[in-house]
Amino acid sequence: MKNLMFFIFFLVLLGIAGVIFIPDLEIYKEHQVNWFNSTLADDLEQSISSSYLYESSNLKHFTAKHDLRITVDLKEACLYNPQDSWDFCSRVAEEYLKGIDTLNIFKYYNLKTMDIGFYVSGRREFGEIYYFHKGKLENYYENVKLEIFTNDNKKTRELVEKREARTRKQYIKEQEKIAFGQAMFGDSRKQVWDKFAKHPAISGKRWSENNINFKLQIENQIYKIMGLYHNDELYLVNIAGNGYWENQYSDDFKKNWQALVDFFEKEYGALSSNFLESNVLKEGMIEWTHTWKIGKKVINVGISKVNSKYHAVAWIADKPVLDKINQQ
């Protein structure tokens, strides 16, 4: 029983001694920070701020809240100058070690083991590019550089893709309304005639008040061009070349067809060539060789055979309206 009471008494004394001799850690940390700020921080910051790689640090406003950790931000130039960056960080570490070299290891243990994190300015999320820890400078340059460049390239690609998508969307929105030249889908017959008459490649001859024969010239090739209307609203522009006989098919006719294809490819992009053999064409039918879709607008270029003659043909149509008419 006496032994048990003695043991309990001994534990109580140890507890009292602990309360007396264990220092307040926050006060202890504040003491260390105050010493660091008064003896080393300003000189260290002034020494390293002259480098072209230096951006900022927490040395001028170092407090206990930093958990005794120095942070240095380097300009993005450090990504392109690895040797200079390494030399700079090494010098910072050396000057720091010299500054605390005379400290009592027990009294200022935390200062002796304090970390220094070197970051690329504005890129903290990628971690330290160099890291001074327990007297050793560790190099993460290649990893951080690769992550930053990969991230930047990804963002650049995303921005370009978004910009191209917006541009493409706007282009489609504008282009799908245009039938030919200044003529728009939905224009009246008179509006189309007025706009065709002002087109530099179109000439017209009026046969009567309600009949004008328009011709379109592409390079040295001539085509007839006319509009089709529903309730006096333009929904399709028809372009047709002159007729060619069988013996002209692979020469004169092909040039006429190719000029029409080239005309639309310059505006809407090249497609694979698909010139058909004459023997696959049926009388009174059109075989489309090229198709472009721009939103609601569809452009078809092809070959028709009428009365044993071959014609290069193009349709520029407001497809929803064309489909609606075809279903009636």
* 167-221 tens-digit pLDDT: 778 888 889 999 999 999 999 999 999 999 999 999 988 766 677 899 999 999 9
Triad 128, 86, 72: Cα angle to 5° = 45
Phi and psi, residue 43, nearest 5°: -65, -40
Asked if pLDDT for residue 289 goes beyond 90, the answer is yes
What per-residue confidence (pLDDT) applies to 100?
75
Give the 3-state DSSP-derived string for the chain, with helices as H, strands as E and coil as C: CHHHHHHHHHHHHHHHHHHHHCCCHHHHHHHHHHHHHHHHHHHHHHHHCCCCCEEEECHHHCCHHHCCEEEEEECHHHHCCHHHHHHHHHHHHHHHHHHHCCCCCCCCHHHHCCEEEEEECCCHHHCCCEEEECCEEEECHHHHHHHHHHHHHHHHHHHHHHHHHHHHHHHHHHHCCEEECCEECCCCHHHHHHHHHHCCCEEEEEEECCEEEEEEEECCEEEEEEEEEECCEEEEEEEEECCECHHHHHHHHHHHHHHHHHHHHHHHCCCCCCCCCHHHCCCCCEEEEEEEEECCEEEEEEEEEECCEEEEEEEEEEHHHHHHHHHC
Other beta carbons within 10 Å of 308: 9
pLDDT the model gives residue 306: 93
Confidence tier at 22 by pLDDT (50, 70, 90):
very low
Q: Tokens 């030249």 appear where?
A: 181
214, β-bridge pairs: 204, 225
Q: For residue 307, what pLDDT is reported?
A: 93
At position 175, the amino acid (one-letter code) is: Q
pLDDT at 296: 94
Mean pLDDT across 43-65: 82
Residues 275, 261: contact at Cβ < 8 Å?
no
Count of Cβ atoms closer than 10 Å to residue 84 Cβ: 15
Mean pLDDT of the chain: 84
pLDDT band at 21; cut points 50, 70, 90: very low
| Predicted pLDDT at 252 | 95
Residue 137 scores a pLDDT above 50: yes
pLDDT on residue 18: 46
pLDDT tens-digit series, residues 228-260:
999 999 999 999 999 999 999 999 999 999 999
Report whether pLDDT(39) > 90.
no
Evaluate if residue 9 carries a pLDDT over 80.
Answer: no
Q: What is the pLDDT of residue 108?
A: 61
The pLDDT, as a whole number, for residue 2 is 47
Give pLDDT, residue 17. Answer: 45
pLDDT mean over 69-81: 90
Higher local confidence (pLDDT), 36 or 55: 55
Instruction: Give the Cα separation of 30 and 92 in Å (integer).
Output: 23
Q: What is the pTM of this model?
A: 0.55
* Of the candidate ranges 33-37, 87-91, 122-126, 133-137, the one whose mean pLDDT is the lowest: 33-37
Give me the pLDDT at residue 25, please. Answer: 53
**Residue 41 banded pLDDT, cuts 50, 70, 90:** confident
* pLDDT tens digits for range 290-328: 999 999 999 999 999 999 999 999 999 999 999 998 887
Among the listed residues 64, 175, 77, the one whose alpha carbon sits nearest the alpha carbon of residue 120 = 77
